[in-house]
């Protein structure tokens, strides 16, 4: 019997996860389908239970459900518990829901193995303080940066996230408008501003010619953040396609016990 999987979010029409997982399935010979489901926040709990009844075996989770999903599953892996956010759900035969988070390993694999970005002793700025940020902080702190700063429109939100992870390493919180004059080696956009065609109100001074800029979002053309960083002359500007593929490969391995080769899939997607 063909096993069913999918990705849930709101909105979800932009997601390329179905394409990626179908390519993985074809590459590995796994008998599975993978679809996208638009689930508004108020319907998440009910739809999750419906997915269980319908026999779906696993789900990827994207904006805006990652933090809420961590409260809905029955059990969290260590990395999901640490992040306080879930991007991968494993649905057992008895209906038990296990939550995991593959965002951190996906990002580190893309930055390090695929793009050659050095994280040890780097000064890192993350824009945004939502579930996506929570998913990547443990992995980034584990890479040994000199400095990790979370910036958000509201300082309270950034401080909440920073305090959650302070036991893992030095981490600071700032409002966007407090960043003027600060410089960073790596700037990661984890806001949803791009979905509205916007860029977070960050001082242009954070992007220097030597800065590597990375957008967790992705699009067939430059995202607003990537277009902004290119105009400011950033040394490197990358969309989150590579992270998307790498975190998907980790989820695929969790579900199927087979690790797909990401290189041919990454080659089919924009950078």
CB-based burial label for 17 (10 Å; 0-12, 13-18, 19+): buried
pLDDT at 268: 87
pLDDT at 206: 96
pLDDT at 235: 87
pLDDT at 28: 98
Cβ-Cβ contacts under 8 Å for 241 (sequence gap 6 or more): 16, 218, 266, 269, 270, 271
Helices (H) and strands (E) in the chain, counts: 10, 12
Strand partners, 98: 75, 90
What stretches in the chain show pLDDT beneath 70?
271
pLDDT at 30: 98
pLDDT at 270: 76
pLDDT at 271: 67
Comparing CA positions, the residue from 50, 16, 64 lying closest to residue 36 is 16
pLDDT at 104: 97
Our answer to whether residue 16 is catalytic in this structure is: no
Q: Which of 16, 66, 120, 268 is catalytic?
A: 66
Comparing CA positions, the residue from 120, 49, 127, 63 lying closest to residue 91 is 49
Which pTM does this prediction carry?
0.94
Report the residue count for the chain. Answer: 271
Neighbour-count burial for 226-249, b at 16+ CB within 10 Å, e otherwise: bebbeebebeebbbbbbbbbbbbb
pLDDT at 14: 85
The answer to whether 133 touches 160, Cβ cutoff 8 Å, is: no
């Amino acid at each position: 019997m063909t096993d069913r999987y999918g990705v849930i979010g709101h909105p979800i029409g932009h997601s390329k996860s179905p394409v990626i997982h179908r390519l993985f399935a074809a590459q590995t010979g796994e008998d599975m389908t993978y679809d996208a489901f638009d689930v508004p926040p108020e319907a998440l709990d009910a739809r999750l239970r419906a997915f269980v009844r319908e026999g779906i075996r696993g789900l990827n989770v994207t904006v805006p459900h990652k933090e809420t999903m961590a409260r809905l599953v029955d059990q969290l892996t260590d990395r999901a518990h640490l992040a306080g956010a879930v991007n991968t759900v494993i649905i057992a035969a008895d209906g038990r829901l296990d939550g995991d988070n593959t965002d951190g390993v996906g990002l580190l694999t893309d930055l390090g193995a695929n793009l050659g970005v050095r994280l040890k002793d780097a000064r890192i700025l993350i824009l945004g303080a939502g579930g996506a940020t929570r998913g990547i902080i443990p992995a980034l702190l584990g890479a040994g940066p000199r400095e990790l700063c979370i910036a958000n429109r509201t300082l309270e939100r950034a401080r909440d996230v920073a305090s959650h992870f302070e036991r893992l390493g030095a981490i600071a919180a700032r409002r966007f408008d407090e960043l003027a004059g600060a410089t960073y080696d790596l700037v990661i956009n984890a806001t949803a501003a791009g979905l509205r065609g916007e860029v977070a109100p960050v001082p242009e001074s954070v992007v220097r010619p030597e800065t590597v800029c990375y957008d967790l979002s992705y699009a067939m053309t430059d995202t607003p953040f990537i277009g902004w960083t290119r105009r400011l002359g950033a040394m490197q500007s990358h969309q989150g396609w590579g992270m998307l593929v790498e975190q998907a490969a980790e989820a695929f391995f969790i579900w199927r016990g087979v690790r797909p080769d990401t290189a041919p899939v990454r080659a089919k997607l924009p950078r």
